[in-house]
Amino acid sequence: MMRFAIVGAGAIGCALAARLAYAGADVTLVVRDPARAALIAGQGIACREGAVSYVARPRVARTVPDGGVDVLVMAVKAGDLPAVAASLPQGIGPQTLVMPLVNGIPWWLAGAGGETIQAVDPDGILQRRFLPEQVVGSVVYTTATVEGPAAVRVTGSQKLVLGALCPDRTAAVAALAQRLRAYGIGIEVCDTIVDAVWNKVALNLATNPLSVVTGAPLGQLCSDERLQPIVSNILDEAWRVAARYNARPPMTREDMLNRGRAAGAHRTSMLEDYRKGRPLELSAIADAVFELAARVGMDLPVSRAVVDMARFQTMPPVA
């Protein structure tokens, strides 16, 4: 049996931990807040997944177990990843598959031995800590919302796209995908995971900052006659950058808009952060894209304008 450790008790981390534990997996959820850790350990996680409700009881820990972990899932904000990597025990070594479930540009997109992406890995900690062959490229298409300290709601079902960064790790990723499917997670294995990542990057960039500016949910962003053209322009800008890095879109622009429309009234994670007064995740979702664009001499005027407005929203009022 594969042994999983999930770092991060947000919507995605809790939803995944609940699904795995409910299906009988060996899973440890790392919860750093002691009060919340005690609550989840005592009463489990109440999960509503589509029309099904259940309570799951993953093992709860304050830190990642030292050794004995086959798959380390990092379901935290991209900006928190360097601190997580620096705190990992030595037992998390090359034998452990590492699956980062993050929005925006992942650190590994820089490539093995390449220039680091300063917006997401400023000190190169992530690139040094994790070998490319142990990283599972991952894209999250689960729509989840935290409904309480030990409660989470999933719209529809949980969906992930996975892919190996190195050809010789294809079999290991296929085995992981098979196991996750057996636990009830919808898994697509992609031979060109970089394309799939850029697809989600484009969606994140096109919708998250704009949701902060407008307050609109995903469905409205991708269907309103005033907002949809902005989303479309940003999607196009992101894909022009991706093309310079030899990525090709697996979805058409209309496919991507339809995915947003299907989310209906779901609010982006960035809008949720803004409403709760938390920092916006602009480094991975926007700044990293701008950094990669600048390296190839490109500017993204529509994206920059919307991101600047989103940043302005979080500035303290002028006296």
Q: pLDDT-derived band of residue 112, with 50, 70 and 90 as boundaries?
A: low
End-to-end Cα, the chain, rounded Å: 60
What is Dmax (Cα atoms) for the chain? 60
φ, ψ at 15 (rounded to 5°)? -60, -45
Question: With contact defined as beta carbons under 8 Å apart, do 172 and 165 qualify?
Answer: no
Residue 8 pLDDT > 90:
yes
Q: Given this model, what pLDDT does residue 318 score? A: 60
Classify the C-alpha dihedral 100-168-289-123 as positive or negative: positive
Instruction: Show the domains of the chain with their CATH numbers.
Output: 3-191 (3.40.50.720), 194-313 (1.10.1040.10)
Supply the pLDDT for residue 163.
Answer: 97
pLDDT for 43-62, tens place per residue? 999 999 989 999 999 999 99
Say what the pTM is.
0.92
The predicted-structure confidence for 142-163, as pLDDT tens digits, reads as follows 999 999 999 999 998 999 999 9
Please state, in angstroms and rounded to a whole number, the distance separating the CA atoms of residues 69 and 139.
Answer: 21
- Which pLDDT score, from 0 to 100, does residue 232 have? 97
**3-class secondary structure, 30:** strand
Check residue 110 and give its pLDDT. 83
pLDDT tens-digit readout, 220-254: 999 999 999 999 999 999 999 999 999 998 899 99
Residue 254 phi/psi, 5° resolution? -65, -35
Dist CA 73 CA 60 (whole Å): 14
Classify residue 267 as exposed, middle or buried by CB count within 10 Å of its CB (0-12, 13-18, 19+): middle
